[in-house]
Structure 1
Amino acid sequence: MSVDSREWVWEHSASRGTARLVLLSIADRVPDKQCVAWASLTSLIERTNGSRSAVRAALLALADSGELELLDDYQGPQRVTVYRLPRAAAFQAKVDAARQEDPDAHVEPSDADPVPKLVPEKLQRYGIWPKKGTDSAPSSRNPTGAESDPARRNPTPRRYGNNTLEGAESDPQNRSEPKVNRRYSSSAGAGVIPAAEWQVDPATHAWARQQGHLDRLGEQGLQAADEKWRLHRANFKPRGAGAWAADWRSWIAREHPPGRPNLYAVSGKSAAAPGGMTRAEAHTAALLAALDEPTGTEG
């Protein structure tokens, strides 16, 4: 469904510049026709290559335009912020209704199109849950995750950092979103763990199910692949949770079902990206793995 959401942004959104990149980044994560996705502020900064202030301003502008909505009564993995593209959801519902009558019907969006009601039970399969003590109604709090406009706050002294509700800029809340330049940041030695201590987080497990690896390998096969990965990574240097998650995904995507040969590793085969991963994702996973590999020139 992310394809339909991205298509709506490309074809019908009035957003421009950084706001358009932010909206595309969120749309890229949409799993179904409800057009709901979770994303941390840090991940949006990384994906758009924009500054924190520019991304915050973009989120506020998108909310003001009605193209983006903060679902404050819901939270994603690691309590990350949840968003909805209401006009994209309304347009998709309109298209579906029209094509029940005529499969070739041409539909144009309208600001008056009703937005379908959320179905919380369907969101839970993607790791999105209502917050405790809420009635699951959307909030008017601004979409940057802050209680008030960040421009009106008193500036924080530099020595104390600039943490947001989504977490510090050097510590992404979503473990499936590795911070590629963590090795070169000032906190490079913080938060690293050995492979044996890393646990498959809800977002990574949801990825395995959505990409079909759980059906392909089965629960036992997936567990066996996980144990094999931990055995092969036992002597690797400690890394951040995000780097381990990317490396684990790359391993699972290459793993063959029990009793079948691993054609990905057969000599002479083309080096295509592993099933379930795009070439860019495979390259990113390989880069993250290479960053911590010993080169023989250390010390």
Structure 2
Amino acid sequence: MTIDAMHWVWTHSQAKGNARLVLLAVADKAPGPDAKARMGTTEFRARLNASRSVVQNAVDKALETGELVEAEPAIGSRPATYQLPFAVGYARPAPGARGPESGPVAEQQGPGIEAPNSEQGPGIRAGSENARGPESGPGGPGIEAPRGPESGPLNQTTPTRSESKQAGEPAPPVLGPEIPINCRPLVDTITAAGILVRWNLSTSEWFTVEALIKRTGVAALAAYAQKQASTRDVSYARYFLPGWRDLPPLPEPGTARPSLRAVPTTGWQPYTNPTDISAYSNGF
């Protein structure tokens, strides 16, 4: 499957640059027809010969194309499992045929009659012994039905569209990530505020976002995202996750907001000391 998956990347992938190298790295390690491979950042760095930041950006770009998905998130020291969804079950086309083994088919002149101008030389007869067509052709029994070269329209080696689909032709590209319904209010609120970020989160990250919505609320999460986006250029929603985790939870239901009491002023008078006042008076 490794060679088939790599063939799909070479011939069908639309990814470019380092993102294409990420797809090739996964395809090179994918052992089975499911086109899955467990790989971590360290292994990606070794295969791409690049820094951690370059590798992470390349993986993100590959995930954005939809040609790479995170089948299983990383847990502890176990790296994530990546999959090439369009290469699942893909089989590279078989090599084309080389044509007839004995050269062009001899000119037919009837059963048992040698073709004097045949390129195959004398002694080769165009009768039923050497015929490759049906036993009964248009000219009667023993006459071979004419057929074109093996590379012609009747024996083309290029797979048709239906054969190409059966061989694993990729489906149309996915139009953006699928956002869970429980996370839709947060995504819509942030988008309505003019913050356009990529929501290509993994399954485990979507679970985290859903838990944060229940704990902190859509309004607080959206306000934090708006504040962060006002001071810097944010391209990925993943950037907000660490700050969202540090926000306080919503108050418990029924909790009353305490009011601030004013300091009483009734009966208050400035401090006066007659002795001190007289001392100052006598001195000046």
Under a length normalisation based on structure 1, what TM-score does the superposition of the two structures give? 0.34
Q: Which has the larger radius of gyration?
A: 2
